[in-house]
Amino acid sequence: MEIKFANHNQYSFEEVMKAKDNGGSFVTYQWIIPLPLIYPIKRLSKVYFIPSGQKKSAHALSFNIVSSIIGWWGFPWGPTAVYRAISINRSGGVDVTADVYLNLTEEGYAQGKFKLEKSAIHFAEPANSELKELRKVFQGFSERYELKKMPIVGLYLQDKANSKSPTIIGFHEDISNRKEEISKAIYKRFFKHYQFELIHLENPPNDYIELENQGVQL
């Protein structure tokens, strides 16, 4: 997969590499293409370099405006998808810093692009609104079933072309006999088109091994 930079002409390769250990980051932002009666298509922007001290949401406004203008047309799920994308962008977008530095070369940076041949980041932090609702779900659930710890949650990113990136919820104990009950509790607060997958952190599928390190504990 080829990834393009948005503002590489503003910073030298030396500045970018120096920022690797000094708080610099690379982010991409979501925007929405509406499809009537079908869940909207999610797209990611070019990658922006964010110097240390600058907000990661610094370049999000234009993508939020585009989604706000055209995304609502995709009824019935367009408004929800737009709200989700804007929430993620305002929270700092999707941080791809580790992936960029893992694949970055001076030649590629000069050309404004790089090939994503190796990936370090598998999960992004869900929007704050989603985390808030999930905490409400599991605070009540934890009291009834005495969970060891609150679950760990992450938005799975590996299939970046997928318009419905699933949210993976990892538990520190085996919940196989309670999945149906947990799912019902989740969908009392979320629309049915949201995709959630429940896993056991002690024996996760290979694709989700990094959830415990890269996800967010509720």
Q: Could you read off the pLDDT tens digit of each residue along the chain, which spans 218 residues?
A: 788 999 999 999 999 999 998 999 999 999 988 777 677 788 889 999 999 999 999 999 999 999 998 877 777 778 888 888 898 899 899 888 988 998 999 999 999 988 877 777 788 888 778 888 999 888 877 667 667 788 999 988 765 444 567 899 999 988 888 899 899 999 988 988 788 999 999 888 888 888 988 899 98
* The pLDDT of residue 162: 47
What is the chain's alpha carbon radius of gyration, rounded to the nearest angstrom? 18
Antiparallel, parallel or unpaired: β 196-200 and 167-171: parallel
Walk me through the domains of the chain, giving residue ranges and CATH numbers. Answer: 2-115 (no CATH), 123-217 (3.30.460)
Closest CA to 153 of 201, 102, 99: 201
d(CA 43, CA 3): 13
- Res 74: pLDDT: 73
pLDDT at residue 159, rounded to an integer: 54
Q: How many CB atoms lie within 10 A of CB 197?
A: 14
Letter string b/e over residues 128-155, b meaning 16 or more CB atoms within 10 A of that residue's CB: eebbeebeebbeebbeeeeeeebbbbbb
The pLDDT value given to residue 158: 63
* Cβ neighbours of residue 153 closer than 8 Å, sequence gap 6 or more: 126, 131, 134, 167, 168, 169, 170, 215, 216, 217, 218
